[in-house]
Amino acid sequence: MTVAAPPPPGLASRLINGLLGIPPLAKFAKHQARQMMIKRAERIGVSWIERSQALRDRNWDVEMAKIKNPDLVYPDYYLRSFHAYERGNLSWEAASEVEVAAYAVHATIWSGEDPHGDAKLRQSYHDLLKPQLSETPRAIVDLGCSVGMSTFALQELFPQAELTGVDLSPYFLAVADYRSQERGAKIRWVHAAAESTGLPENHFDLVSSCLMFHELPQEPSRQILHEARRLLRPGGYLAIMDMNPQADSYVKMPPYILTLLKSTEPYLDRYFSFDMEREIIDAGFERPTIQKSTPRHRTIVAKVKK
């Protein structure tokens, strides 16, 4: 199944962008979005404050010393406010709340508020991915791995595979490393940009990315697709799970909710207008399959072009 490229942002979206360009309004919208998630988390039995505080109270010196690349220069696009955090992904506050935020946000993918929504989201991705692979991958890299939730899910799906997680936030990777120690999981965590990983070419059978591309401008997205092709062996696969721009939940989203969403996602319009199918083909892949995996998400799988 393939889908047409989405149209440019409409009038309502452009008006919202204008409102969010006014700092006091943007700050208010971010605050409201954050409070909405915290309250939802508590309703589904996730103790947002308690769980995030427990992570912030740890001494992270060991993990940071092991993970952080002191020579890494952060791209300008990454130094923006994300998800209502002024420092974006470069803070312990953000890192400590990734897991609880995922549970809260994904609780409403299907009807009601489901505390298992996040697990169902990742399972829906795997259910569409696995049947398309011609053989079980031996080496997998998870681009934009965050605190490792997507990486651990891939490891459960392919327990014999060598797993590598790549992310630009050393704070996220420190939490990922801590969680992997808790699990006794052997995963390599790499502090790097997904568009320039520094990993060996032709090494991986599967490049996976979950919920990363909607947080990127178009040029880095394009570069990441080419980097994925460089990393893959002949016959390897690229797999992407992310927001579906054509989902009714976004197309018909009430302006107030859209304002809250866009206040925390600065590159959303650029993602929605990015022709993912064409860009994947241009990066050296066969025409991808694009399938609806949840009411709000899509799964894209493409094989390296011969």
pLDDT in tens, 262-272: 667 889 889 99
Q: Please report whether residue 134 resides in a domain.
A: yes
Please report whether residue 239 resides in a domain: yes
What is the rounded average pLDDT of the residues 140-157? Answer: 99
Q: What is the pLDDT of residue 1?
A: 45
Q: Is residue 265 part of a domain?
A: yes
pLDDT tops 80 at residue 58: yes
Specify if 2 maps to a domain.
no
Q: Is 286 within a domain? A: yes
Question: How many independent structural domains does the chain possess?
Answer: 1
* Integer Cα distance of 164 and 152 in angstroms: 10
The maximal CA–CA distance of the chain, rounded, in angstroms, is 53
For residue 1, being part of any structural domain is answered with no
Locate tokens 């006091």: which residue? 24
Residue ranges of alpha helices (H) inside the chain are 11-20, 23-43, 48-56, 61-67, 92-106, 117-129, 149-157, 170-183, 218-231, 248-251, 255-264, 268-272, 276-282
Residue 182's contacts (CB-CB under 8 Å, 6 or more residues apart) are: none
Distance CA 228, CA 238 (A): 7
Mean pLDDT check: name the lowest of 20-24, 55-59, 90-94, 105-109. Answer: 20-24
298 SS3 class: strand
CATH of the domain at 64: 3.40.50.150
Domain contains 112: yes
Give yes or no for residue 5 having a pLDDT over 50: no
Which residues constitute the domain of residue 246?
11-303
On whether residue 4 sits in a domain, the answer given is: no
Given pLDDT bands bounded at 50, 70 and 90, which one contains residue 4?
very low
Q: What is the dihedral of CA 79, 81, 85, 91, to 10 degrees?
A: 0
pTM summary value:
0.89
